[in-house]
Amino acid sequence: MWFELLTFIIGIAFGFFHRGKEDLTGILRNGAIVGIVLGIIFVLVSMLLVPGGMSIGVGFLGVFGIFIVIIIFVIIFIVGAFMGDWLERVLKKKP
C-alpha cells in the first residue's frame, strides 16, 4: 500500500509541476512511460528488498502477476498525473 500511495503522490507532483496545460494524450503518453519505469522499480523493490508486503501481492500468479502489478502502478500514476494537472489549472487560474 505504501508504494501505491507514493506512486500516486509522485503522479500528482508530475502533473502539477509539468509546465502549462497539456493535452490529455501528452499526459497519458508521458505518464505511461514514467509509470512503467516507476512500476518496475517499485515491483522489484517490493519483491527483493521487502518481501513482507509493502505493495500489492499477486505473487501466486508468477510473471503474469508481476505484469498486473506494473499495470496497476501505471494506472495509479496516470490518475495522479491527471489530478495534478487539474490542480494546476484550478490553483493557477487568475480571477
- Write down the pTM of the prediction: 0.77
Domain boundaries, the chain: 2-8+23-89
Does residue 91 register a pLDDT over 80? yes
Residue pair 88/22 in contact (Cβ under 8 Å)? The answer is no
- Residue 21: what pLDDT? 61
DSSP string, 18-44: SSSPPPHHHHHHHHHHHHHHHHHHHHH
- Residue 73: what pLDDT? 85
Cell 505504501 belongs to residue? 2
Question: Confidence class of residue 53 from pLDDT cuts 50, 70 and 90?
Answer: low
- Residue 3: what pLDDT? 77
